[in-house]
Amino acid sequence: MSSHPTGTGSRRVVVTGAASGIGAALAARLVAAGHGVIGVDRTPATIPDGVVRVTCDLADPASVAAAVGEIGAGPLHGLAAVAGVPGTAAPETVYGVNLLGLRRLTEALLPRLADGGAIVLLSSMAGYRGTATEEEAAALVTLPDDVLAARLTALGLAGPEAYQLSKQLVQRYALHLAARLHPRGVRATSVSPGPVQTPILADFRATMPSLDVAAELVGRHARPEEVAAVVEFALSPEASWLNGVDLRLDGGLTALRSTTATR
């Protein structure tokens, strides 16, 4: 399998959050395209058929280590870190899953990524409302796990503010990865959707009252398959010149808000 990381053919891809929403849609698309998919989720029973199921709680370092062992030592051609929790969760869980767990799993799998492979980290348009400066974000994503966790806790953020910061730092971590992995030809991007019709949309609605204003402007919320299609492309060899950027998937929301504000 490692013979075609930059060409066509079957690839081996890890997808976190594969039991529902965007992750499940992506896993199903990759299987349908003939790729070997390893689905990682806290509740793997609903991971789509044809996917190798791995149980993992990203907030638990021991669970992440066990999942890495279960994934095995064979070469990987892609990692899509889709799993995440909303701001209704406790701040330590938001940071633990959305950032720390995402980074812990990614770092553990880096040695297994074949040259020419790709990483896609799921962020959010909410990340653009994170409170860290560019300099602060750049420094935070390089801290060891325990130091980073303590630093984030000390900020005292909760709810949507903790969620926004976690996703802001995911965007920054993708940028950091792209630079680090460039000599290997391994690409890293982040994808930032606006509201998506997933099982946790109600949680986002509870913490972000303006969420449905987006649907009023755009006409609807995104479907999981629409986001999954972009992630699938970003993972593919056809996206070979896509690297170190965040892809905003907001259905035109930013443009519509901008033009509305200037009328």
Please report, rounded to a whole number, the percentage of residues in the chain having pLDDT higher than 70.
92
Asked whether the predicted pLDDT for residue 76 surpasses 80, the reply is yes
pLDDT band at 2 (very low <50, low <70, confident <90, very high): very low
Q: Which residue has the higher pLDDT, 76 or 251?
A: 76
Asked whether the predicted pLDDT for residue 262 surpasses 80, the reply is no
Give the predicted TM-score (pTM) of the model. 0.91
Quick check: is 5 in a domain? no
Quick check: is 7 in a domain? no
Domain count, the chain: 1
Asked whether the predicted pLDDT for residue 7 surpasses 70, the reply is no
Q: Is 163 a catalytic residue?
A: yes
Quick check: is 6 in a domain? no
Q: Which residue has the higher pLDDT, 96 or 200?
A: 96
The mean per-residue pLDDT over the stretch 35-48 comes to 97
Q: Which residue among the candidates 95, 128, 163, 173 is catalytic per the annotation?
A: 163
Q: For residue 126, how many C-alpha atoms fall within 13 Å in the half-sphere facing its CB?
A: 26
Could you tell me which residues are beta bridge partners of residue 16? 40, 81
The rounded distance, in Å, linking the Cα atoms of 163 and 76 is 29
Closest CA to 126 of 173, 176, 175, 194: 194
Domain that holds residue 195: 12-261
Quick check: is 3 in a domain? no
Quick check: is 122 in a domain? yes
Residue 152 sits in a domain whose CATH number is: 3.40.50.720
